[in-house]
Structure 1
Amino acid sequence: MGRTLISWVSEAWNPIVGCSRISPGCKNCYAADLPLDPKFKKLWQYQAVKKWDGTIAFVKKELYRPFRWRNPRTAFLSVTDIAHENVKRHELSQVLAVMALTPTHIYKLLTKRPVEMRHYFQTLTTTELFKAALEFWDEDLISKRAWRSVKELERYFAELALPLPNVWLGVSVENQDYTWRIDELRHIDAVGKFISCEPLLSPVNLSSYLGICPGCQSCDFRGGHRIGKSVANWIIAGGESTRKKSDSRPCNIDWLRSIVSQCRQADIPPFVKQLGSNPVQFQYVQGNLLQSEGDNLILPYKTKHRKGTDENEFPIDLQGCQILPDYHRVLATVSS
């Protein structure tokens, strides 16, 4: 796999393939259906994990691809959870070693298993990364401009500092019940952190994690101002999309508006990826929400695009809300 339809990265990079469902957001996982796609039927790794039962395939040849990227890219491991219990540590460390050796690229790692991710990164060492690199280091397979002798490689990792400056860590939060994942993210040392509220299945209040006041005497209990540091540097939100539109669970556009509002209060860039295949909206009349008994309160919000990804079809107040983080600014803030 190469270029991706995921709008917040430029590259899908999948040296690890496979996962299993763990929470409501996983119900209609797009990756679980990929083995049925004709494009993927000829790829052994997708057929090996097609039951989506936790089987993990490690695709070693994929490790060499980032060394061939000439221009800086943002990459995402899109068909696995890197913290899945069946991902072998020495294989994951090989993936991280590649990231360490290609510092011009940004890598984004997302999990629904933050406890395991926290353990991995809290125990990771540069020595482990060096040993992992030796498992794939092959002069015939590494691009010439990236090649180093083993002694040079050892020196490189000895001088390397953790956390890796080009690796962003994120957690998925599909509803309020899973905001606890952000608590685990809080305790992981990373240059950049993000939260993905996709598929957004209900309203989510992130204020306590974004450093937003819920209401105090100094603001007459109105809330909404910043009182602390945010756990995350960036928030993604979006409705669910599925192959069959009828399978998609509804996403209320006001839920997306709420997340955008929270991001603005916390001075964090929001990225509204899509409205989803089944966006809905409350019905207003002359600015007032209909609430009387018998009113059809929630209406479909129609889009031409099947997944609701065309920003031109967003409500006007959500247009311009596909903002990528300023990676250099975040790095500079952490380094200062």
Structure 2
Amino acid sequence: MATKTSIEWTESTWNPVTGCTKISTGCKHCYAERMAKRLQAMGHPNYVDGFNAVRYHYNALDVPRKWKSPQMIFVNSMSDLFHNDVPAQFIDEVFFTMKETPIHTFQVLTKRAGRLEKLAKRFDWSPNIWMGVTVETADHVDRIDHLRNVPATVRFLSLEPLLGPLPNLNLDGINWVIVGGESGPGARPMKSEWVEDLRDQCLKANVPFFFKQWGGVQKKKAGRLLDDRTWDDMPEQNLK
């Protein structure tokens, strides 16, 4: 239910919700789907129904309370907290846990930005709750507008897998941008000029920029250097 992770921009994952359904082109080669199938084959109790069955786990709600040292926690790496099949009352419980464990920083990420905005006013957005949306192509930049209306202290973008150029983004009210290429089987290519343009947009807007990876079938081989350096900026350096 909670585990250390190799994801570059966080430290641990916490999955009070498991399972999901595909909503846009970025979901085509979902890593969580591949992982869920493995966990199902291994007999993990949270994945007995596979990936397409969305399940919420009350027995996972207290997990962050058991972690005594501060953690940067990616919430629902194996799902989407704002999936329509997750009751608003359960999302309330997740937010209550996050508020009650201020030693941790929680990074929530969704593609269902419309539902996020609709429900946002019912939650207590304590400063340790960061809220982000995924934008993979220009067809989905409207998710950023929904995010901008959410009263989180930190609002961030995950532009991963980046599948096309995103010119002239409106970064007003955005505190952090993560960019990364798709990885794993069937990975679609990412052009360097797309990444460079986003980096330059962030520098101009004074928004911290984090370059996660070039991606590819063998992502470690491709690495994560951009212009001969790593870009690991984090939002606490530049809260608006």
Alignment TM-score, normalising by the size of structure 1: 0.67
- What SS does the corresponding residue of 1:108 show, helix, strand or coil? strand
Q: 1:39 to 1:57 in 2, by over 3 A?
A: closer
Alignment length, in residue pairs? 238
Cα separation, 2, equivalents of 1:20 and 1:112: 11
Q: Decide whether the 8 Å contact of 2:154 with 2:235 is kept in 1.
A: no
1:74 positional shift: 0.9
* Structure 2 counterpart of 1:188, one-letter code: V
Structure 2 residue corresponding to 1:58, chosen from 32, 56, 59: 56
Q: How does 1:94-109 map to 2 (within 5 A)?
A: 94-109=93-108
Q: Contact (CA 8 Å) 1:34, 1:40: kept in 2 or not?
A: no
Aligned residues: percent identity? Answer: 33
Give yes or no for the alignment of 1:254 onto 2:193: yes
Q: Return the alpha-carbon distance in structure 2 between the equivalents of residues 40 and 182 of structure 1.
A: 37
Instruction: Find the aligned partners of 1:74 and 1:304 in 2 and give their Cα distance.
Output: 23
Name which of 320, 323, 332 aligns with 2:233: 323
> Paired residue for 2:203?
264
- For residues 156 and 20 of structure 2, the distance between their equivalents in structure 1, rounded to whole angstroms, comes to 21
Residue identity in the other structure for 1:265: K
1:111 aligns with 110
Distance 1:189 1:24 in 2: 28
1:322 Cα deviation from its structure 2 partner: 2.0
Among candidates 131, 145, 167, match of residue 205 of structure 1: 167
Q: Which residue of 1 aligns with 2:173?
A: 231
Corresponding residue number in structure 1 for 2:66: 68
With over 3 angstroms needed to count, the CA separation of the structure-2 counterparts of 1:264 and 1:257, relative to structure 1, is same
- Aligned equivalent of 2:90: 91
Give the 3 Å change call, closer, same or farther, for CA 40–94 of structure 1 in structure 2: farther
SS of equivalent residue, structure 2 residue 162 = coil
Q: Distance in 2 between matches of 1:304 and 1:68?
A: 33
Q: CA deviation at 1:39?
A: 8.4
**Cα displacement (A) at 1:90:** 1.5
Look at both structures and tell me which one has the larger radius of gyration over its CA atoms.
1
Give the aligned partner of residue 15 of structure 2: 14
Give the residue type in structure 2 aligned to 1:260.
R
Structure of higher RCO (CA pairs closer than 8 Å, 6+ residues apart):
2
Is contact 1:171–1:195 with CA below 8 Å preserved after alignment? yes
Q: Could you list the per-position Cα deviations for residues 94-153 of structure 1 after superposition, in whole angstroms to 9, with x for gaps in the alignment?
A: 1111001001111111111111011111233xxxxxxxxxxxxxxxxxxxxxxxxxxxxx
Residue identity matched to 1:83: F
8 Å Cα contact 1:49/1:57 also seen in 2? no
| Unaligned 5+ runs, structure 1 | 125-161, 211-229, 279-302
The answer as to whether partners of 2:155 and 2:174 remain within 8 angstroms in 1 is yes
The 1:318–1:263 alpha-carbon spacing in structure 2 relative to 1, beyond 3 Å, is: farther
| Aligned-partner Cα distance in 2 for 1:88–1:120 | 11
2:40·2:50 contact (CA, 8 Å) conserved in 1?
Answer: no
Offset, 1:41: 2.4
Contact 2:14 2:73 in 1 (8 A): yes
Amino acid at match of 1:2: T
- Per the alignment, residue 220 of structure 2 pairs with 305
d(CA) in 2 for partners of 1:251, 1:320: 17
Structure 2, unmatched stretches of 5+, are none
Asked whether 1:195 is paired with 2:195, we answer no
2:137 partner amino acid: N
What is the TM-score normalised by the length of structure 2? 0.92
